[in-house]
Structure 1
Amino acid sequence: MSTDSVKGSASYCPFIEKTYGRPIGEWQQLVRTRLPAKHLDLVAMLKADLGRGHGHANAIVAHVFSDHQR
């Protein structure tokens, strides 16, 4: 799948995987285990506990929330 056709938070997935060397599904599952929680609380957890950058942490949480609302 080309990142050109992917929109929103999902477009960050290939970059997150490359940067941190782990599949995006692992990060998403970690976030899911913390639900229910507020978006910004989950972003803060990824940043503080795991050293993720704000943009990547936000994209991971946003992607989980978009899947969770379907």
Structure 2
Amino acid sequence: MNGQEAAPTRRGFSTPGELLTAPQVMARLQLGRSAAYDLLGTRQLARSPLGRARRIPTHALTDFIHTRLDQEAA
């Protein structure tokens, strides 16, 4: 492995850019704090604990958006 390759982790994340903070999710979804934390608390939006912090994988945000769009279309 050369010095430029990122080693995959247990869940397959390789770079910090693939994990979002709650405020980043709030900004991307244009939601307030309460609404964003409700999505996390009800597990409608998957999260990965990192110590005391919560991080949201970008694929979880994408999946959430696609699921909501599919529900709207049905």
Task: Give TM-score scaled by structure 2 length.
Answer: 0.30
Structure showing the higher helix proportion among its residues = 1
- Please say which structure displays the higher CA radius of gyration: 2
| Bigger strand fraction | 2
- Normalized against structure 1, the TM-score is what? 0.31
